[in-house]
């Protein structure tokens, strides 16, 4: 396997996307990079807010940008079902359709189809499934998956893969990996728009021998970026972190490294330590709708009675609109009353928290103090305490 030639081949083909590795932290595998796409540049490590159906729930695109997001995620499965990729394409693509003129990554829809359980059937040709909306029957192959994403016009597309549930027997995981790799080749071969990047997805469940072989074969095919998939599907956190630590270094250094669906702040901080560049998760928006807010001192469940008379902001260290203008008592009142504004204000805060977290991560890497930042964030240790350990 000649990884250098494969990398050069991919770069010579793609004229709309590039990745530049800018700096590596001196005390960890954390790295700074810059992705260049047809719709703008993205500094990494980066967290991508999830805009499942062409919207980050509760916010306008202008809100999302002002909060610091420079790339969002759209969902191929949901946009295919409603309103349909043909309609989105006819309206100028997803960027124009949703009025977001900045980078977009679309996932393959494989995870959502995996979540359908008995409503889907996987074969070598692709995935047959019933819509969760109306029960209508559909089929997505690797070729159709790329066709949908090209119609949506995303800056980064993901290959179709099979997401294996946990636990999975070795034999099934091996067969699934082999099929995922064949699908990856078909995705690459069916690609028509070289301005859209295409990322391959590593599978193999918890089995090291499968993960290693899968990554090697993905690299041999050649992609613009590489993702660790098949995690956060019910496995113990220790396994997720072990796989991230062991296999991130095997991904090409000169390409973006994406950990799919992982979004707890402590997991982001830990995974950056091992060299991950990209994250996405529904937690900021979903938890906002459920009244759970992320803060610099821990989680705040705003419906709790303890906040009834609390005149302080959600987070005194946060500079978001919500924290600058409203008290915990007011936010609790809105949430208990079922007001839509509760969702909006909570979402503004949670998204800003994640954007600030990524800014702080990038600053720590640039200043070669990421190992200390990680210890302080995860274990609550001060610099002096770390030095004395």
Catalytic residues: 107, 280
The closest alpha carbon to 145, from 92, 200, 97, 96, belongs to 200
Cβ neighbour number for residue 168 with a 10 Å cutoff: 18
**β-bridge partners, 75:** 107
214 Cβ contact partners less than 8 Å away, ≥ 6 residues apart: 177, 180, 181, 202, 203, 204
CA distance linking residue 176 with residue 70, whole number of Å: 34
85 to each of 61, 147, 223, how far by Cα in Å?
Answer: 20, 9, 24
Residue pair 44/20 in contact by the 8 Å Cβ criterion? no
Handedness of CA 27, 30, 35, 40 (dihedral sign): negative
Burial 351-367 (b: 16+ CB within 10 A, else e): bbbbbbbbeebbebbee
């Amino acid at each position: 396997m000649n990884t250098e030639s494969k990398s050069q081949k991919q770069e010579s083909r793609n004229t709309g996307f590039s990745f530049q590795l800018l700096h590596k932290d001196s005390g960890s595998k954390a790295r700074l990079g810059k992705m260049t796409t047809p719709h703008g540049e993205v500094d990494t490590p980066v967290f991508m807010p999830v805009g499942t159906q062409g919207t980050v729930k509760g916010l306008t695109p202008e809100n999302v940008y002002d909060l610091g997001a420079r790339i969002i995620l759209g969902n191929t499965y949901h946009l295919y079902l409603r309103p349909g990729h043909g309609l989105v394409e006819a309206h100028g693509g997803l960027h124009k359709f949703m009025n977001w003129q900045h980078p977009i990554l679309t996932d393959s829809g494989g995870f959502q189809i995996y979540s359908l359980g008995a409503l889907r059937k996987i074969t070598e040709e692709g995935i047959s499934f019933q819509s969760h909306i109306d029960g209508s029957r559909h089929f997505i192959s690797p070729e159709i998956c790329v066709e949908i994403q090209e119609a949506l016009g995303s800056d980064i597309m993901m290959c179709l893969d099979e997401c294996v549930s946990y636990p999975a027997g070795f034999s099934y995981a091996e067969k699934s990996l082999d099929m995922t790799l064949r699908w990856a080749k078909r995705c690459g071969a069916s690609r028509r728009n070289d301005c859209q990047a295409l990322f391959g997805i590593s599978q193999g469940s918890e089995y090291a021998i499968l993960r290693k072989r899968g990554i090697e074969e993905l690299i041999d095919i050649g992609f613009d970026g590489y993702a660790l998939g098949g995690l956060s599907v019910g496995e113990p956190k220790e396994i997720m972190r072990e796989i991230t630590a062991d296999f991130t270094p095997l991904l090409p250094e000169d390409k973006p490294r994406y950990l799919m669906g992982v979004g707890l702040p402590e997991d982001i901080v830990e995974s950056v330590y091992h060299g991950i560049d990209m994250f996405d998760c529904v937690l900021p928006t979903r938890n906002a709708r459920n009244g759970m807010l992320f803060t610099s001192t821990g989680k705040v469940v705003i419906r709790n009675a303890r906040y009834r008379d609390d005149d302080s902001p959600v987070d005194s260290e946060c500079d978001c609109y919500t924290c600058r203008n409203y008290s915990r008592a007011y936010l609790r009142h809105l949430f208990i009353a079922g007001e839509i504004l509760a969702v909006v204000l909570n979402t503004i805060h949670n998204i800003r928290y994640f954007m600030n977290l990524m800014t702080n991560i990038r600053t720590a890497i640039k200043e070669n103090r990421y190992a200390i930042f990680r210890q302080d964030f995860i274990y609550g240790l001060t610099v002096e305490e770390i030095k004395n350990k």
